[in-house]
Structure 1
């Protein structure tokens, strides 16, 4: 496959249980979904100057 060719988009499952898929991602006051553990890890990295 050459570099100018794109792969087709993968199929999107229609039977996703959204409440289960979004478990652990609360909607915050800025309108975004955050995961508490991932957000903490990201803040730790920013604090270390890795961004």
Structure 2
């Protein structure tokens, strides 16, 4: 579920990139990129822990 959400968010981000490239780059580099691996790792740990 989290993966799907992040993928959808990335597609939306790409769609808006033309409109506000700089701001989007900033958000991508400061927010989405550093967080994504940690979020996916946490999600995987939760899934493994509950099964």
| TM-based fold match above 0.5 | no
TM-score by length of 1: 0.33
Q: Point out the structure with max Rg over C-alpha.
A: 1
Which structure would you say has the larger RCO, counting Cα contacts within 8 Å and 6 or more residues apart?
2
Q: Which has the higher helix share?
A: 2
TM-score by length of 2: 0.33
